[in-house]
Amino acid sequence: MNKLQEESAWLSIFEYSKKTGKSISTIRRYIKSKRVVSQLIDGKFYIFENSVGINNVQADSLEDQMFKLEKQVGFLKKQLVVAQEEISELKMLVNLYEKQISQKSVISDCNKSEKHIQ
DSSP string computed for the chain: -HHHHH-TTEEEHHHHHHHH---HHHHHHHHHTTSS-EEEETTEEEEEGGGTTHHHHHHHHHHHHHHHHHHHHHHHHHHHHHHHHHHHHHHHHHHHHHHHHHHHHHHHHHHHHHHHH-
| pTM for the predicted model, two decimal places | 0.40
Give CA torsion, residues 103, 107, 110, 111, to 10 deg: -160
Residue 80 lies in a domain: yes
pLDDT tens-place string over residues 48-81 = 876 545 555 566 677 878 888 888 888 889 999 9
Res 43 pLDDT > 60: yes
- Residues 63, 91 share a domain: yes
What's the pLDDT tens digit per position in 92-105? 999 999 999 998 88
The domain containing residue 92 runs over which residues? 59-117
| Residue of 2, 9, 5, 6 whose CA lies nearest to 38 | 9
| pLDDT at residue 60, rounded to an integer | 65
**Are 107 and 71 in a shared domain?**
yes
Q: Residue 8 — very low, low, confident or very high, per pLDDT cuts 50/70/90?
A: low
Residue 66 and residue 39 in one domain: no
